[in-house]
Amino acid sequence: MNDQNELEALKKDLTKFVESRSLKAVRITLNLIKAKVSIEKYCEIVVEQLQKDPQFFTVGIRLAPTIIDNVFKNHCLFEGEGFLDKFRGKVNIKKAYISGKFYLTNYRLWTIERLEYPGTYYSRGIFGLIDRLIHSTIASTRKSFAKLAVKSLSDNLTILEWGYSLPFFNATNIMKTKKYISYSLSVEVKDKQKTIEIKITPQLKIARDSIFSQIEKSLLDNQ
């Protein structure tokens, strides 16, 4: 079997394993593919699979930082959206939180980190409210782009709905302190409007002023 035939066989295996949500088999197959192709081609193959099941990759498959950067910047941005910065930190959403690496654009904060629920005493209603905001990802942001055409990508791919997004559109109660910046966001849950309070705390103090300034400008620009 020549290299091209072997690559095609691996791609078919990868599709099968993603469809069956076989974590270990997907990881092994991705590593075999990565050893045979350029990073650009590898990212194309990853994007093909992400289009089929983005939540599976968000929750179960951890890609290398260079791959995440490439895919996010080249396949996840809307018309008019530009990457601004990335930082490590913590975001609190009501009583839940996300901790790790975040990507900042002029439209949103994006991450593939896990949403954590500390303790067990929060009501299911709060869980549902937070999940609706976080797991809606691009869908929640898409409404804010009603008059914008979604950016067309190479090979007729559209915006990749991957990861978790916290939009900066129509924010209220914007507040900035030395440690964090916070704002409120309205989200529709079961045909009712609910309000989510979001607090963003960068890990490194030296980066906070820059991050806060960019977030504040994006929040105000998108009101």
Q: Are residues 66 and 80 in the same domain?
A: no
Residue 130: pLDDT above 50?
yes
> Which residue would you say has higher pLDDT here, 150 or 135?
135
Q: Are residues 95 and 129 in the same domain?
A: yes
Q: Are residues 120 and 61 in the same domain?
A: no
Q: Are residues 93 and 199 in the same domain?
A: yes
Amino acid 150: pLDDT: 40
Taking all residues of the chain, what is their mean pLDDT, rounded to a whole number? Answer: 80
Last residue of a domain, one of 14, 48, 73: 73
Domain count, the chain: 2
Q: What is the dihedral of CA 110, 112, 113, 115, to 10 degrees?
A: 80
pLDDT band at 78 (very low <50, low <70, confident <90, very high): confident
Least confident of 117-121, 177-181, 199-203: 117-121
Amino acid 171: pLDDT: 87
Amino acid 9: pLDDT: 92
Determine the Cα–Cα distance for residues 25 and 30; give it in Å rounded to an integer: 9
Q: Are residues 88 and 151 in the same domain?
A: yes
| Domain span at 67 | 3-73
Last residue of a domain, one of 11, 43, 73: 73
CA 83 to mean position of chain CA atoms: 13
Q: Are residues 120 and 132 in the same domain?
A: yes
Q: Are residues 38 and 141 in the same domain?
A: no
Report which residue type is found at 182: S
The CB density around residue 81, as the number of other CB atoms within 10 Å, is 18
Q: Are residues 22 and 96 in the same domain?
A: no
Characterize 36-59 residue by residue with b for buried, 16 or more Cβ atoms within 10 angstroms of its Cβ, and e for exposed.
eeeeeebbbbbbebbeebbebbbe
> Which residue would you say has higher pLDDT here, 91 or 129?
91
Last residue of a domain, one of 22, 44, 73: 73
Q: What is the CATH number of the domain that holds 215?
A: 2.30.29
Q: Are residues 12 and 47 in the same domain?
A: yes
